Chain A
């Protein structure tokens, strides 16, 4: 056991500490000082406190450079984790900005407190290479998100979504824990790198494969990959829209990042082979199967949806399939950095785009609902928001020069080049490109309603607050700029990965 200093710990966990204190502050301000104030003012105050804490955390993350690996990977702080944490807090801030005009609950303090706790869970998740901490952080994130999903107590759909999410999540967590304890039993360590060292040369033992599949099940649930996706459409549809935005963005970023670490570091040595006609057992063929199923089912089911929130959920499932390609690209230890860079770029830009899309859906919902019909003639009722919607949808579809295109481009080239010389995963990349073409159909369906279809007789112009306009415009701008100048984000990511020695 190395010498342990709580002061060092506090220094390393500065951003997390700030956010936890902010969550308590949001709770106390709302329950104490603002108890009898009108609801809009309480939303504004709670959001203000949360945003302040988030900004402080970002300031800390960008200015305090720290690099440490505490107690065998229990806490890992390096430039890469700091960068991903900045992304996570930024996503929290955008979610908060979209929540300010919410009307679904009176429990403002609790809402912001849980948003912050979920984000803190994600940040812990990102900065750990120890399965124990990973599991506990995963539970903190999930539990906060279950409650946020069921937050709208006036809506039965929200309660049902929360319960469904909770039950699926509970079973998935049980499988993860079972798998992780098997791995601990087999490898005798909870540290990812030590697990890989201890399991090296043991080959593909049946018990190890069972453990691997159980771990993949748990993470597959978090990232909503087929066949563990069943909760996603209901949760996205039933959850209050800003909460759904956080589930679709921040939670995905953190889960994918840690999933990639667990697979690439912890299961290094039992990759197997996913190349066409050369299958060998390991995690690569397992993830390749999940990727194919997710892309196929996500894209095809999205076509049949009439609720745009459900459409976004199925699109999220399809995108989880694309992102799994990034994980597959990391199966070759020499090309790991490329795969990681492509994955972080993709999840960041995807998260920003999805928050924007949910923001637009929230505005449309005010005019009656989130079905495709409600989008009819939206461009004439709210031109600026409709333009933002166009940017988000086209980016999700992967149209150049938007961020979604470059994300897919880097991801696919990383996956195709994972095995230099034989282009082993090319079949998967070709499939992914074909599926992206399919996805264009349903994204354009939404845009067609918004820009071409005539508005319904009784259609009313939605009320859009200044904050929402600003947030959506910022997000759309980010999607355009990161697409036109991808080096702005890719450069720091590559530097951070190099500095982290990944």
Chain B
């Protein structure tokens, strides 16, 4: 369990890092997909089956494919192969190390981590669905609105404007 977690966490982080640093956009997209898969595996090791499978279906199945299609359709940006690594990179790594260090030291020195954990609840998909439609129906509705706004914004920002007024 413990080594499994370490391996998966390393894989997630490494592929996420590679997705940011690689020059070829298609490789980046693949690394993102690997990162999504290992996250899904992490969920599965936590006995959160539904979230794990949803992660595979939605992120690996839909989002990663969507990214690849977006790269295919906007061919001209994939040609330059510009790396987006920020220079001087020491600054970014330093800040990252600082944040990670304070997080790790907080977790290790916290009194909360040394307590008995309650048994993990075994939530079925049915229970999840029921609480989404009752207790958490308001956040669910808000997410619906959020997606509407995101959709509108995506169409609006991505569409090509025709010069000189009038609608296409």
Contact = CB atoms under 8 A, between A and B. Distances in A.
A332 to B, nearest CB: 27
Given A74-B139, A107-B156, A206 B149 contact: no
Contacts of B143: 136
Most interface-central of B110, B136, B145, B167 (chain A CB within 10 A): B145
A35 B149 contact: no
Given A20-B145, A71-B134, A210 B139 contact: no
Interface in A95-133: 106-107, 110, 113-114, 117-118, 120-121, 124, 128, 132-133
Contacts of B134: 1, 4, 71
**SS of B interface (majority):** helix
B157 interface: yes
Contacts of A113: 152
A72 B113 CA distance: 26
A68 B106 CA distance: 38
A136 B157 contact: no
Interface stretch (A137-145, A398-406, A490-498): A137-145
Contacts of A20: 145
Interface in A137-179: 137, 139-140, 143-144, 146-147, 150-151, 153-154, 162
B161 A153 contact: yes
Given A71-B135, A147-B152, A210-B102, A140 B109 contact: no
B165 to A, nearest CB: 7
Interface in A189-229: 202, 205-210
B107 interface: yes
Contacts of A71: 134-136, 138
Nearest to A135: B139
Interface in B30-73: none
Contacts, number: 101
B156 A133 contact: no
B156 A35 contact: no
B85 interface: no
Contacts of B153: 114, 143-144, 146-147
Interface residues of B, number: 32
B102 to A, nearest CB: 7
Interface in B98-135: 102-103, 105-107, 109-113, 131, 134-135
B157 A150 contact: yes
A293 interface: no
B137 interface: yes
B168 to A, nearest CB: 10
B150 interface: yes
B102 A140 contact: no
B77 interface: no
A72 B161 CA distance: 47
Contacts of B102: 210
B146 interface: yes
A129 to B, nearest CB: 12
B107 A143 contact: no
A133 B145 CA distance: 13
A133 B138 contact: yes
Contact of A120 (B110, B113, B145, B166): B145
A9 interface: yes
Given A117-B145, A205-B110, A70 B161 contact: no
Nearest to B142: A136
A39 interface: yes
Contacts of B112: 185-186, 202, 205, 207-208
Given A4-B134, A186-B112, A137 B148 contact: no
A360 interface: no
B149 A210 contact: no
B145 A114 contact: no
Interface of B: 102-103, 105-107, 109-113, 131, 134-139, 142-143, 145-146, 148-150, 152-153, 156-157, 161, 165-167
Given A1-B131, A208-B112, 16 more contacts: A35-B167, A106-B161, A106-B167, A114-B153, A117-B145, A120-B145, A121-B146, A124-B142, A132-B136, A133-B138, A139-B146, A140-B142, A140-B145, A143-B153, A206-B106, A207-B107
List the 7 closest A-B pairs by CB distance, nearest first.
A147-B153, A207-B110, A206-B106, A210-B106, A4-B134, A140-B146, A71-B135
6 contacts: A1-B131, A124-B138, A132-B136, A136-B146, A185-B112, A202-B112
Interface of A: 1, 4, 6, 9, 13, 20, 35, 39, 70-72, 74-75, 106-107, 110, 113-114, 117-118, 120-121, 124, 128, 132-133, 136-137, 139-140, 143-144, 146-147, 150-151, 153-154, 162, 185-186, 202, 205-210
